[in-house]
Amino acid sequence: MKTIGVLTSGGDAPGMNAAVRAVVRTAISLGMNVKGVRRGYVGLIEDDIFDMDARSVSDVINRGGTLLYTARCPKFRTEEGVLEAVATCKRHGIEGLVVIGGDGSFRGALELSRHGVPCIGVPGTIDNDIACTEYTIGFDTAMNTAMEMVDKIRDTAQSHDRCSVIEVMGRHAGYIAVQTGIAVGATAIMVPEVPVNIDSIIRKINKTKANGKKHFIVIVAEGVGGVDEIAKQIMAGTGVDSRATVLGHVQRGGNPTLRDRLRATQMGYEAVHLFYQGYGNRVVAYKGCEVVNYDIEDALQMKKSFDENMLKIALETAI
């Protein structure tokens, strides 16, 4: 393979730049040319392609967001869109494409592979909701940001003897919620994977109130949602003044943590080496402290389990 392309797709995630850097520099080290594609599949359809060299990715390893920009592209879900993207690849001599994104982006990558443009997926999403991998780029930074924000909210909740009900991101998954919840010592954590009755949270707050606790943090995954209503119900059931906060997109920004830069670099490097060894249609993943890879179709069929023991740890340590 002489020329590869690289794009970022779906929601941005801190560490995507480090992954792009690793792809570009590894490819150049192996004697390949690299083309950058702007705005994910939109750039492939609209022919927004540019040549990249080692300097194109200077000073980005520490930056959040994505220098390639990103987008969601409804047209790429159609046969017409995929064919236009394939034509762009042919025009630019792109023989293989590294796709940095989530499950949806990998479905697009599978379509491209089926149409003769082999792709390698690199998992990039703050949600950590991709089944084939224990880790996705951006997860650690997002959780550290959420933790820092909750620490700030805690100061004011403590000063006013309040309960703070805080929504964190994660789309349909509760991985950000559960790990952040443990790290901030939340009284309760609500995730979509394990439904919990608001009455049990109210009972817990009343019980801990009786043993001297005066302020409370409740972490709610966005897949559960409804923080305003939850705060009202807690106030009605406990008498504790309650406030709701939605952390939102702040969790997607900021300089990537060491962990995200490291995993991004390892996975970007691996993606290019797979092409170099003649593989295509693979997803790079992180499993048992190792970088591994799977067939894209197999990867998309895997199911991710939720470690309920984490919730148990949270509950038993926040009494």
- Interface positions with ligand F6P (CB under 6 A): 11, 125-127, 169-171, 222, 252
Q: Is residue 127 annotated as part of the catalytic site, yes or no? A: yes
Total residues at interface with ligand ADP (CB under 6 A): 17
CB of 128 to ligand ADP, least distance (A): 12
- End-to-end CA gap in the chain: 58
Q: How far is the CB of 126 from ligand F6P (least distance, A)?
A: 5
Q: Which does 136 bind (CB under 5 to 8 A by kind): ligand F6P, ligand ADP, none?
A: none
Least separation in angstroms between residue 138's CB and ligand F6P is: 8
- Stretch 124-143: interaction string toward ligand ADP, x if CB under 6 A: -x------------------
Four-point Cα dihedral 197, 199, 201, 203, nearest 10: -150
Q: Please tell me the distance from the alpha carbon of residue 250 to that of residue 81, in angstroms, as a whole number.
A: 32
Q: Is 107 near ligand ADP (CB under 6 A)?
A: yes
How far apart (Å, rounded) are the C-alpha atoms in residues 16 and 265? Answer: 9
Class of residue 3 by CB neighbours under 10 A (exposed 0-12, middle 13-18, buried 19+): middle
Nearest distance in Å: CB 316, ligand F6P: 28
**Which residue in the set 105, 144, 238, 251 belongs to the binding site for ligand ADP (CB under 6 A)?**
105
Relative to beta strand 96-101, strand 49-52 is: unpaired
**158-197: contacts with ligand ADP (CB under 6 A):** none
Q: Does 66 bind ligand ADP (CB under 6 A)?
A: no
Residue of 47, 59, 103, 127 marked active site: 127
Cα–Cα separations (whole angstroms), residue 112 to 48, 88, 94, 96, 245? 17, 12, 12, 10, 41
Q: Which residues pair with 35 in a beta bridge?
A: 5, 51
Task: Choose from ligand ADP, ligand F6P, none: what does 253 bind? Cβ within 5-8 Å by kind.
Answer: none
Asked if 95 and 38 touch (Cβ cutoff 8 Å), the reply is no
Place of tokens 């929504």: 167
Which of the choices ligand F6P, ligand ADP, none does residue 160 contact, using the CB cut-off of 5 to 8 A by kind? none
Residue 121's DSSP bridge partners are 99, 283
Which amino acid belongs to residue 236?
Answer: A
CB of 168 to ligand F6P, least distance (A): 9
What three-state secondary structure class fits 309?
helix
**Residue 76 binds which one of ligand F6P, ligand ADP, none, with CB within 5 to 8 A depending on kind?**
ligand ADP
Binding footprint of ligand ADP on the chain (CB under 6 A): 9-11, 41, 72-73, 76-77, 101-105, 107-108, 111, 125
Q: Which residues are catalytic?
A: 127
